[in-house]
């Protein structure tokens, strides 16, 4: 059942966000509710830890009279179809998001990510409205990137080829985990529904998105997970050498990209875009820990483990295609991202500590700092 205000005479746009109570979804819902003539429909079963609090927060906004919550499971085609009735846009964010969970429960991963996406596509196709549909995929569809040799300099991997400016959309697909398979299969379905059924669909293959309202776990939202763990005096496991590099993007910049793709749908429909912070916003695991220690004044507690199979030593998005098609570019710096997450923790410390399983006050003090690493240039294969 739709819970909210189903009849809003001031709403010219009705927008469905699957997974709308999650990190990205709740930020997107807040942004859209701030616009006039816009009604937002959140489809979410609230199964992820913390998202019920995001929904409560959304329901407390001044514009919440234009918010609807549709409780439901993305794997239930009838529930998805009902949620999609009358919508003009769909942002499909609902997903199983962890590689480790996909390994432990591959059927659930497939059903949520592939069947769930198929249900959304069919609901859009059968709605009669031809809604704009944006799907959030992942850089994991590119696998281990064996075609991008890397070397170590200082505390991070970098591409051995100095001409490298990030991974482009033409990079060969290599679904290196059940998660990569399910998200990759889903993004191909989304693309094909534009070609076969003329739905205006867009795929974002995203790198690391971070910012406020992110609860952060080891498997998803690693920047937030690191920062919260440091502040809560929890140990952080470093897999491998800690030189792994990702480009990070503020969630507000992602929302700008989504808006640009929608507004430019005459050009973006049927396209796939790599979306991330690009070469200007790269950070290694070690770099991130040092940034967090400098920001918080708290030394991380570290544990070590072997590198995880399929982990990309380096991933950097080349976002030039999205910029060329829409004019979008990221505005927030790396420092902005870390500070935004820190402010969210400061304002929600009790909530975050409770959701993560223990009171921060009960945790022991930090014991050791981020280790120093050699800065010699060492040639490495992209394994």
Active site residues: 179
Helix (H, G, I), strand (E, B) or coil at 324: helix
Helix (H, G, I), strand (E, B) or coil at 197: helix
The torsion angles phi and psi of 117, rounded to 5 degrees, stand at -65, -40
Q: What angle do CA 295, 298, 304 make, to 5 degrees?
A: 110
Which is nearest to 183 in space by CA: 215, 205, 166?
Answer: 205
User: What is the distance, to the nearest Å, from the Cα of residue 348 to the centroid of all Cα atoms in its chain?
Assistant: 21
User: Residue 241 contacts by C-beta under 8 Å, 6 or more apart in sequence?
Assistant: 152, 307, 373
SS (H, E, C) 13-48: EEEEEECCCCHHHHHHHHHHHCCCCEEEEEECCCCC
User: Residue 192 contacts by C-beta under 8 Å, 6 or more apart in sequence?
Assistant: none
Q: What is the DSSP string of 215-247?
A: ---SSS-HHHHHHHHHHTT-EEEEETTS--EEE
């Amino acid at each position: 059942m739709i819970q909210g205000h189903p009849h809003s005479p001031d709403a010219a746009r009705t927008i469905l966000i699957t997974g709308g109570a999650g990190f990205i979804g709740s930020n997107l819902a807040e942004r859209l509710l701030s616009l006039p003539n816009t009604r937002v429909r959140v489809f979410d079963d609230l199964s992820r830890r913390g998202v019920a609090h995001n929904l409560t927060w959304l329901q407390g906004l001044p514009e919440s009279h234009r918010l609807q919550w549709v409780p439901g499971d993305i794997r239930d085609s009838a529930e998805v179809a009902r949620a999609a009735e009358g919508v003009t846009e769909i942002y499909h964010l609902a997903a199983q998001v962890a590689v480790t969970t996909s390994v432990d429960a591959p059927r659930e991963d497939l059903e949520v990510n592939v069947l769930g996406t198929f249900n959304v596509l069919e609901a859009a196709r059968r709605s009669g409205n031809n809604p704009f549909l944006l799907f959030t995929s992942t850089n994991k569809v590119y696998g281990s990137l064996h075609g991008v040799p890397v070397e170590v300099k200082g505390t991070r991997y970098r591409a051995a080829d100095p001409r490298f400016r990030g991974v482009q959309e033409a990079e060969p697909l290599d679904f290196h985990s059940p998660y990569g398979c399910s998200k990759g299969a889903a993004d191909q379905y989304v693309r094909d529904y534009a070609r076969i059924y003329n739905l205006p669909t867009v795929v974002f293959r995203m790198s690391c998105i971070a910012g406020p309202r992110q609860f952060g776990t080891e498997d998803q939202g690693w920047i937030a997970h690191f920062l919260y763990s440091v502040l809560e005096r929890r140990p952080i496991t470093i897999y491998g050498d800690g030189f792994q590099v990702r480009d990070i993007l503020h969630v507000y910049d992602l929302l700008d990209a989504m808006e640009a793709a929608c507004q430019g749908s005459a050009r973006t429909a049927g396209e796939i875009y790599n979306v991330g912070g690009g070469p200007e916003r790269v950070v290694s695991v070690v770099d991130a820990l040092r940034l967090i220690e400098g920001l918080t004044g708290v030394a991380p507690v570290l544990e070590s483990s072997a590198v995880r199979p399929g982990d990309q030593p380096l991933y950097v998005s080349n976002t030039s295609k999205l910029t060329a098609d829409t004019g979008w570019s990221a505005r927030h710096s790396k420092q902005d991202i870390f500070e935004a997450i820190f402010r969210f923790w400061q304002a929600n410390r009790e909530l975050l500590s409770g959701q993560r399983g223990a009171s921060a006050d009960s945790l022991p003090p930090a014991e050791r700092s981020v280790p120093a690493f050699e800065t010699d240039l060492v040639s490495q294969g992209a394994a």
